């Protein structure tokens, strides 16, 4: 599988501008025969808690419809982020859209970052989410979720690859790098992290740090790079091969963990 990671320098709350940039990136990735293109969290707005401006109705979302149309047009799968209205709050979501333009998985971020007040604006999800793309089973997570290994352990029972889309500030990028590697090693699968770049509307700086870690915890090297896009070739058979030579996940004791957590 060929995966393109796009480390967008997102324009603050400018959906049309960001959609144009995404479309251009998708067109470039298609030329390089990418099967799946992954964008950062809250793709068309950047991480804003101004939900009056960013949130959309889930049933009539212009963002969702736009990415469905583009996926079908270019015959590529897309993972992107969008904010939906949810009562008097909102939800932070990741979507997986297949090459036919159909939504294969929807995920509501389970862990709002209470330290930053996200819980006052966003309702947390209550379910894990994964879907199949040609024919890989891919789990979805968002940003702060990366700090919660239990979520990844649950997804790891079903998936060969887990994606985290993020707006993870540069001042904590060492944590980002370490946690992506840890989640891959713990679960013996591929972990994809896609982070934004640039400076957001709150003045937070972001460092280009999108990456793929293989089941052995090794940082993969892109086969092609252009601007803020990096493309990787993933041999999904490596997941099974690696577990056959050094398997650890079967030794987990989830019943015990439930009783002591």
pLDDT category of residue 134 using cuts at 50, 70 and 90:
confident
For the chain, give the percent of residues with pLDDT over 70. 100
Does the predicted model carry a pTM greater than 0.95? yes
* Mean local confidence (pLDDT), 130-149: 96
CB-based burial label for 160 (10 Å; 0-12, 13-18, 19+): buried
The Cα 64–Cα 57 span in angstroms is 10
DSSP secondary structure, 210-241, as one string: -EEE-TTSPBP--SEEETTEEEEE--THHHHH
The Cα 95–Cα 98 span in angstroms is 10
* Mean local confidence (pLDDT), 77-93: 98
Domain span at residue 170 reads 2-260
The Cα 127–Cα 158 span in angstroms is 14
14 neighbors 54 (Cβ within 8 angstroms): no
Q: What is the mean pLDDT of the chain?
A: 97
90 neighbors 96 (Cβ within 8 angstroms): no
42 neighbors 74 (Cβ within 8 angstroms): no
142 neighbors 81 (Cβ within 8 angstroms): yes
The Cα 91–Cα 24 span in angstroms is 27
CATH of the domain at 227: 3.60.110.10
* Mean local confidence (pLDDT), 135-157: 97
pLDDT category of residue 135 using cuts at 50, 70 and 90:
confident
CB-based burial label for 104 (10 Å; 0-12, 13-18, 19+): middle
* pLDDT over 90 (residue 105): yes
Label each residue of 116-144 as H, E or C.
HCHHHCECCCCCCCEEEECCEEEEEEEHH
The half-sphere exposure of 121 on its side-chain side, counting CA atoms within 13 A, is 18
Q: Residue 93 corresponds to which tokens in the numbers above?
A: 């979501």
The string of pLDDT tens digits covering residues 148-198 is 999 999 999 999 999 999 999 999 999 999 999 999 999 999 999 999 999
The string of pLDDT tens digits covering residues 222-254 is 999 999 999 999 999 999 999 999 999 999 999
- Total number of domains in the chain: 1
């Amino acid at each position: 599988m060929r995966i393109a990671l796009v480390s967008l320098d997102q324009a603050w709350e400018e959906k049309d501008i960001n959609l144009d940039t995404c479309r251009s990136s998708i067109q470039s990735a298609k030329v390089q025969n990418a099967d799946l293109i992954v964008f950062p969290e809250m793709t068309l707005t950047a991480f804003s808690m101004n939900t009056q401006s960013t949130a959309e109705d889930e049933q009539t979302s212009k963002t969702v419809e736009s990415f469905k149309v583009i996926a079908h047009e270019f015959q590529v799968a897309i993972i992107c982020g969008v904010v939906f209205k949810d009562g008097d709050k909102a939800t932070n979501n990741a979507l997986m859209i297949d090459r036919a333009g159909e939504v294969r998985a929807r995920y509501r971020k389970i862990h709002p970052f209470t330290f930053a007040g996200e819980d006052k604006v966003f309702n947390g999800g209550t379910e894990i989410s994964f879907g199949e793309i040609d024919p890989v089973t891919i789990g979805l997570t968002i940003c702060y979720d990366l700090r919660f290994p239990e979520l990844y352990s649950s997804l790891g029972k079903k998936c060969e690859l887990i994606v985290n889309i993020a707006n993870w500030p540069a001042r904590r990028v060492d944590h980002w790098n370490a946690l992506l590697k840890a989640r891959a090693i713990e679960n013996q699968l591929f972990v994809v992290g896609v982070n934004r770049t640039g400076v957001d509307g709150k003045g937070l700086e972001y460092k280009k740090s999108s990456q793929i870690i293989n089941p052995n915890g090794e940082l993969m090297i892109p086969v092609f790079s252009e601007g803020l896009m990096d493309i990787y070739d993933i041999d999904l058979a490596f997941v099974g091969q690696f577990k056959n030579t050094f398997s650890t996940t079967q030794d987990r004791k989830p019943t015990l963990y439930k009783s002591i957590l």
